[in-house]
Each structure stands twice: as structure tokens, then as C-alpha cells.
Structure 1
Amino acid sequence: MTRSAPRVDAVLVQAVIAGALSFAHLHDLAAAAGQNGWKAWAYPISVDLLLVAAWRRLRSGGSKTAAWCWFLVALTASLGANVATAGLLDLGAVPAWLRILVAGWPAVAFLGGTLLVHASPKPEETPAQEEVNTAPAAPSAPELPAAEPEPALPSTAPVPPALVALARKVADDHRSRTGTAIDTSTLRARLGVPMPLAEAIASQLT
């Protein structure tokens, strides 16, 4: 079985190259500012870690203001080193203010990283939830009295003679076809009248 050749992700390669160049620029600036040996290598790591911590806080839905603040601080430090080492600054004679900034960076990075790590994210309420929480409870609707049932027609209610005559024809037709007397339910269905009226008609057919 043949294995396919691994595919190279151009975006990942670009990110590795950009990260390596930024790392080297930060190292060179820290070394020029008097941070020798391992300390010069620790500065790029500190800046990158602060960038990652701020970005993770932005993605996790925590405090956006604090996360953006520390993200911009780390990004400024990284961009500043890239610009400073591009020939605009004499690395052989670094000004005093830049030496102070480089020397004070560890305290700034420690403070930012600590605040980002220990800040507890607070879930944000949506506008719909806020309206539900602040809206007063709606009063319950008053109960309506139950409707009284319609009075049933008495079985002895007067029935029009024409309707009785029609019912008699229907009953005779039913008897001739089935040999049995028509019941009240069948009579009501054939005439299309309410049951009380059908009962009154049936009482007049007997």
C-alpha cells in the first residue's frame, strides 16, 4: 500500500517563518539593550506567550477590554522590535529610554500574564435574557365563568307537521328496506336535525 506524500500547509509555513523572524528581532534588540546570554532569548518567549494568553482570553469570551489591552501591549513590543532592528536604530548605541523599557518588560509581562490567567470569565447575558430578568411578572388572567349548557329541547316540543310528514316517509322507507323500525339516531342523521328534535319527531311517529 502506497502512502500519499504529506501536504505542506502554506499558511503554517508562513506563520513559522514570521514567528522565527520576529523571535530573532526581539532577541537582537534585547541583546543590544544589555540583556546578555539566556536573558536575551527569554524576551521573545515572554512576548509571544503574552500574545497567546491574550488571544486565548479573547476567544474564551472573558473580559474583552483586558484581553485587547494586553494583546496590543505584546503586539507593540513585537512590532517595535521588528521596526527597531530594520536599520532605523543603531544597535551599537541603544538609547537609555529603550534600555529602561527592555529592562522593565519582565515585570509588565508577568503582570499581564497573571491577570489574564486568573481572570474568571463571566458569561454575558443576551438582551433577550436581560429583558426576561427585568420584566415584571405578568398578572394571571382572570378565570372566566363556565358557560352554561344550552337547555335541551323537551321530547314533547311541538314539531311542524311538514317535518313530521317527511319523517314518516323516511321511517316508512327505512322499514320497507330493512324490515325494522327506524331508530332515533338514524332518523336524526337522515333528517339532519338535533337529537332533541329527532326525539320529539320519533315520539310523534309511534
Structure 2
Amino acid sequence: MTRSIRPDAVLVQAVIAGALSFAHLHDLAAAAGQTGWKAWAYPVSVDLLLVAAWRRLRTDGPSRLAWCWFLIALIASLGANVATAGFLDLAHPPAWLRFGVAGWPALAFLGGTLLAHAPDHSADTTEKTPVAAPAVPDVEREAVPAPTLEPQTAVTATEEPPALPAADPAPAPVSSVPVPTALVEHARKIAADHTARTGTPIDTATLRARLNVPAVMADAIAAQLT
């Protein structure tokens, strides 16, 4: 299966414009005294400098260096096209034109070298150190030991029935639950932020949900905050 080749209007226009600009630069260099292969090298030098500066602008972003050499190459190309339109007598070129054409190779070499070896500041290699959030100590839940039952003995007619097992010990009071100092300080910050946003003191349920701690420890922390 063959694909049909359709000419691109933009590409055709670019080829025509490039060929005309190339011919005008050649004619201007030949009129200024550059003969042979030298006259053909001038258009290549101007167009390459223009492309190099434009590529620098596209890849590394706007910079004074790239814009400076882009405008120099554009003025050289545009000036050659205008000069060959009859504004100058190419049979008797002025001295400044000969001077400019003769000095162009050194100027183009300098511009190409600076564009090729200019430092790249587009990527910032410095990385900001992330600020670590305050670590909240893990609170281990203390398991309540299960009551141990005495082994049951056989009940005889003369013995009293065994007493019922003692009930589970009552939970420790709020004040006896150990709370880390760092957790209390973190809870103070959370309570202050809640008060600043809502205008009301933080309740125990909200404090427990924010700290993700047991209810007993949340009560102990709330007691220390009051």
C-alpha cells in the first residue's frame, strides 16, 4: 500500500524563500569582491547563524545572547535582500559594504561559538529540601489483662457453691493514663488551630479523631488541655 505524497504549502513557501535569500546573499558577496566558493559560503554562514540562534531560543528559552545573534543574522539576511533590489550600485559597491562582507566571517564565527558553548540555565539543579512534618509519637494501646479464673472444684453436698468470678476491673481513671509530652504539645496546636478557625474550643470527639488515639487517652489529653 503506497501513500500519496501531497506537497505542503508551508514547506514549498519556505524552500522558495530560502532559495531567493540564498541567491541574494550570494550576489551581494560576489559584488563585494568575494568570488568563487567564498561567495557561496556567505549565504550558508548567515542562514546557519539564524537557525542556530532560533534553535537556542526554542530549546533554552528567551535570552539576550540568543536574541542578539538572531537579530544580527536577520539584519544581514534582510539587508542583502534589500540591497540587491536596486538600492545599491552593485557594480560599484560602497566601502562600508566591502568592509561588512569582509568582516562577516569573524563575526559569524564568534556568534556560533557563543551559541554553542553558552551555559544552559534552563534547568534549576538546586532542589529544595522538603520540610518534614512534626512526627506524632505512636501511642500503643495498653491491653487490659483478662481476669484469671481459679479452676473449679467438684461441689459436694457439704461444701458451699464456688463464688462467682470477680467482675472486670473498672477502667483506670483519666488522670492515671500516661500521655507523652510530645503528643500533648501536638494536641495543643490542633486545639488552637480549631479555636482560631471555628471560634469554639475543640471537643473530645474531634480531638480523638484528629489524633487517632483511644477514647481513654483522648479524655486524658483533653483534661490536660483545660
SS of residue matched to 1:60: helix
Normalising to structure 2: TM-score of the pair? 0.56
Distance 2:144 2:11 in 1: 81
- Structure 1, unaligned stretches of length 5 or more? 158-206
Distance 2:140 2:106 in 1: 77
Aligned residue number for residue 122 of structure 1:
121
Shift of 1:149: 6.9
* Residues 27 and 148 of structure 1, relative CA distance in 2, 3 Å threshold: same
Q: Which has the higher contact order (CA 8 A, sep 6+)?
A: 1
Q: Does 1:143 align with 2:137?
A: yes
Distance 1:4 1:137 in 2: 57
Q: Which residues of 2 match residues 159-170 of structure 1 at below 5 A?
A: none
Distance 2:3 2:50 in 1: 36
Q: Does 1:38 align with 2:37?
A: yes
Q: Which has the larger radius of gyration?
A: 1
Shift of 1:44: 0.3
Shift of 1:89: 1.6
Q: Does 1:109 align with 2:108?
A: yes
* Residues 57 and 149 of structure 1, relative CA distance in 2, 3 Å threshold: same
Shift of 1:13: 0.8
Aligned residue number for residue 172 of structure 1:
none
Aligned residue number for residue 60 of structure 1:
59
Distance 2:59 2:130 in 1: 33
Please say which of residues 36-45 and 111-120 is displaced more in the overlay: 111-120
CA deviation string 1:19-45 (max 9, x = no partner): 000001111111111112221111001
- Structure 2, unaligned stretches of length 5 or more? 147-164, 168-226
Distance 1:27 1:45 in 2: 9
Normalising to structure 1: TM-score of the pair? 0.61
Q: Which residues of 2 match residues 1-206 of structure 1 at below 5 A?
A: 3=2, 5-61=4-60, 64-125=63-124, 133=128, 137=131, 140-141=134-135, 143=137
Aligned residues: 152
CA deviation string 1:35-68 (max 9, x = no partner): 1222111100110111122222223327732222
Structure 1 contact 29–81 (Cα < 8 Å) conserved: yes
* Counterpart residue type for residue 134 of structure 2: S
Aligned residue number for residue 185 of structure 1:
none
Distance 1:142 1:11 in 2: 64
Structure 1 contact 48–74 (Cα < 8 Å) conserved: yes
Shift of 1:103: 0.7
